[in-house]
């Protein structure tokens, strides 16, 4: 039996006797014979360190990063500039290595970071309370739905068709655990109709969930959507782009009960998909249902300012049936990067960034839609992202732009929006200059002009 383990037969006998088992096979009784692995793992021979480094370098060369091409990809993850001070601070061992700060007397720095982060998210969203982050944007949407379930025990979730596809998938998977079901409301000219939403909600609707701006880049009328949700007694949830909140009315001003979002645009690089962090804020009515942790400010016995973990409604802290989530350390380091980025920008810089993106996005949309064969997918206001329809194979256009021009023109919409088989979602960040946008326009014009339906590369 020692073939299974890196121990001698004598060692194995000693361990088996200690736990009162006659043989190693007895330990496997609960595992059906047909699914047990027979023999040792089929692992290749070991390599030297130099060989491993060469192998990893070969694998890395197969990737394409934003340093290798000019990227207009978006859809929740964006190529933003991350200031050097973010790396300098998050790389400090005090922040890089700590676990949950259970002992406040030795964790004041980490707890203060959490508190400052929560404060920034509350200011960003216009809501009363924030937790100290969750894993990422889609799981934040699912967490908000669970908060609504705990509040009203209604099993239905009415969502906009233009909610991020990953968020919808995560919501469906998570809600299945408590018998929840998801109903989609279609779009009209790229946005969610308040009338259609009002017709979809009812006495069984626990929450209405929309995205701002939505997945197609259009700015939603959050106030009218919130009113429709509240008339039915449902919780209003908005999944927000934090950068767009530099210009748009806050979710709190629009009557939103819970605001969530993907934090990657704040101080976090793309890094081939993660990690990032998710933010979650709500009105004070949901304080006891917040997932994860909340850091609070207090004073010690001598009247000095200090910080503590105020709320920890996790299953490792309280009875499982009363827990609000199983989120543990979450993404505190990534959230620190987010608040550092916001602090680096400052209030004026943050608004200035939003205005810059809006101007460049307007220019990009205007120039692209002037190309024969490119039409706007909708005409609604946008902030930093927009969708167009191409008169040609969108995948062939993307391939041409990448291979012939070194430009990734955006995200193909067909997989998530079958009604737009040649739809393209284009995102603009402060990394994309006017020259980059002009190059994108030339590349798309070249791609569409090369051939109809099949672009030569």
Question: Measuring CA to CA, which residue among 248, 425, 271 is closest to residue 261?
Answer: 248
**Residue 203 covered by a domain:** yes
**Residue 36 covered by a domain:** no
Looking at the structure, tell me whether residues 185 and 298 fall in a common domain. yes
Domain boundary residue, one of 308, 341, 374: 341
- pLDDT exceeds cutoff 90 at 223: yes
Q: The CATH number of the domain where 322 resides is what?
A: 3.40.640.10
Looking at the structure, tell me whether residues 386 and 245 fall in a common domain. no
Q: Where are the alpha helices (DSSP H) in 320-433?
A: 332-368, 394-405
Q: The CATH number of the domain where 371 resides is what?
A: 3.90.1150.10
Domain boundary residue, one of 310, 341, 372: 341
Looking at the structure, tell me whether residues 363 and 305 fall in a common domain. no
**What integer pLDDT is reported at residue 451 of this predicted model?**
46
**Residue 4 covered by a domain:** no
**CA quadruple 285, 289, 293, 296: dihedral sign:** positive
Looking at the structure, tell me whether residues 171 and 320 fall in a common domain. yes
- pLDDT exceeds cutoff 70 at 150: yes
User: 362: how many CB neighbours lie within 10 A of its CB?
Assistant: 15
**What integer pLDDT is reported at residue 272 of this predicted model?**
78
Residues 6 or more apart in contact with residue 202 via CB below 8 angstroms: 156, 232
Indicate the length of the chain as a whole number. 457
**Residue 57 covered by a domain:** no
**What integer pLDDT is reported at residue 22 of this predicted model?**
86
Residues 6 or more apart in contact with residue 237 via CB below 8 angstroms: 141, 144, 145, 148, 207, 208, 209, 210, 256, 257, 258, 259, 260
Looking at the structure, tell me whether residues 259 and 377 fall in a common domain. no
What does the block give as tokens for 419? 């009604």
Q: How does residue 314 score in pLDDT terms, banded at 50, 70 and 90? A: low
DSSP category for residue 38:
P
**Residue 233 covered by a domain:** yes
User: 12: how many CB neighbours lie within 10 A of its CB?
Assistant: 16
Helix (H) or strand (E) holding 386: strand 385-390
Looking at the structure, tell me whether residues 362 and 335 fall in a common domain. no
Alpha carbon distance 323, 340 (integer Å): 30
Domain of 402 in residue numbering reads as: 70-80+354-450
Looking at the structure, tell me whether residues 280 and 390 fall in a common domain. no
Give 278's strand partners.
134, 262
Q: Give the mean pLDDT of the chain.
A: 92
**Residue 15 covered by a domain:** no
Q: Please count the structural domains in the chain.
A: 2
Looking at the structure, tell me whether residues 74 and 192 fall in a common domain. no
Looking at the structure, tell me whether residues 197 and 222 fall in a common domain. yes
**What integer pLDDT is reported at residue 452 of this predicted model?**
44
Provide the b/e sequence for 254-292 (b: ≥16 CB within 10 Å): bbbbbbbbbbbbbbbbbeeeeebbbbbbbbeebeebbbb
Report the half-sphere exposure of 352 (CA within 13 A, side-chain side).
7
**Residue 374 covered by a domain:** yes
User: 116: how many CB neighbours lie within 10 A of its CB?
Assistant: 18
**Residue 16 covered by a domain:** no
Dihedral angle computed from the Cα positions of residues 210, 212, 215 and 221, in that order, rounded to the nearest 10 degrees? 70
Per-residue CA distances from 413 to 89, 224, 388 (Å): 38, 27, 10
Looking at the structure, tell me whether residues 90 and 75 fall in a common domain. no
Looking at the structure, tell me whether residues 119 and 241 fall in a common domain. yes
- pLDDT exceeds cutoff 90 at 406: yes
**CA quadruple 334, 339, 344, 350: dihedral sign:** positive
**What integer pLDDT is reported at residue 136 of this predicted model?**
93
- pLDDT exceeds cutoff 90 at 29: no
- pLDDT exceeds cutoff 90 at 53: yes
Domain boundary residue, one of 291, 310, 341: 341
**SS3 assignment, position 325:** strand
Q: With beta carbons less than 8 A apart as the criterion, state whether 183 and 132 touch.
A: no
- pLDDT exceeds cutoff 70 at 171: yes
User: 296: how many CB neighbours lie within 10 A of its CB?
Assistant: 14
Residues above pLDDT 90, as percent of the chain = 75
Q: Where are the alpha helices (DSSP H) in 153-267?
A: 165-175, 194-200, 222-231
Looking at the structure, tell me whether residues 367 and 334 fall in a common domain. no
Question: Measuring CA to CA, which residue among 94, 127, 111 is closest to residue 283?
Answer: 127
**What integer pLDDT is reported at residue 124 of this predicted model?**
97
Q: With beta carbons less than 8 A apart as the criterion, state whether 161 and 182 touch.
A: no
**SS3 assignment, position 125:** helix
- pLDDT exceeds cutoff 50 at 455: no
Q: What is the pLDDT of residues 273-305, one digit of tens each?
A: 788 999 999 999 999 899 888 999 999 889 999
């Amino acid at each position: 039996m020692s073939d299974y383990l890196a121990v001698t037969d004598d060692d194995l006998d000693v361990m088996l006797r200690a736990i009162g088992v006659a043989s190693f096979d007895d330990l496997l009784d609960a595992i059906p014979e047909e699914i047990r692995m027979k023999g040792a793992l089929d692992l290749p021979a070991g390599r030297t360190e130099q060989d491993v480094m060469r192998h990893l370098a070969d694998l890395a060369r197969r990737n394409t990063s934003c340093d290798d091409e000019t990227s207009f990809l978006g859809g929740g993850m964006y190529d933003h500039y991350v200031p050097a001070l973010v790396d300098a601070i998050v790389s400090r061992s005090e922040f890089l290595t700590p676990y949950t700060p259970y002992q406040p007397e030795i964790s004041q720095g980490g707890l203060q970071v959490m508190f400052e982060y929560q404060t920034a998210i509350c200011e960003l969203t216009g809501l009363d309370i924030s937790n100290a982050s969750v894993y990422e944007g889609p799981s934040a949407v699912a967490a908000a739905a669970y908060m609504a379930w705990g509040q009203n025990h209604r099993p239905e979730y009415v969502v906009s068709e233009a909610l991020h596809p990953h968020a919808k998938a995560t919501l469906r998977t998570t809600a299945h655990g408590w018998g929840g079901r998801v109903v989609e409301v279609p779009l009209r000219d790229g946005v969610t109709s308040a009338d259609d939403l009002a017709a979809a909600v009812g006495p069984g609707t626990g929450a209405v969930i929309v995205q701002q701006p939505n997945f197609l880049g259009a700015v939603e009328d959050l106030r009218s959507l919130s009113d429709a949700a509240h008339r039915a007694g449902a919780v209003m949830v908005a999944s927000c782009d934090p950068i767009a909140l530099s210009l748009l009315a806050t979710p709190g001003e629009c009557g939103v009960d819970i605001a969530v979002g993907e934090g990657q645009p704040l101080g976090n690089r793309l890094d081939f998909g993660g990690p990032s962090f998710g933010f979650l804020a709500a009105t004070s009515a949901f304080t006891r249902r917040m997932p994860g942790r909340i850091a609070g400010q207090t004073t010690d016995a001598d009247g000095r300012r200090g910080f503590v973990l105020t709320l920890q409604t996790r299953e490792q802290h309280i009875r499982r049936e009363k827990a609000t989530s199983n989120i543990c350390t979450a993404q505190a380091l990534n959230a620190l990067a987010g608040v550092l980025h916001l602090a680096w920008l400052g209030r004026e810089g943050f608004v200035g960034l939003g205005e810059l993106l809006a101007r460049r996005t307007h220019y990009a949309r205007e120039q692209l839609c002037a190309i024969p064969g490119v039409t706007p997918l909708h005409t609604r206001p946008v902030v930093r992202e927009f969708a167009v329809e191409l008169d040609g194979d969108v995948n062939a256009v993307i391939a041409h732009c990448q291979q012939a021009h070194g430009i990734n023109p955006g995200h193909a919409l067909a997989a998530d929006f079958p009604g737009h088989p040649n739809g393209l979602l284009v995102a603009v960040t402060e990394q994309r200059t006017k020259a980059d946008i002009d190059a994108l326009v030339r590349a798309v014009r070249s791609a569409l002009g090369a051939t109809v339906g099949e672009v030569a590369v």
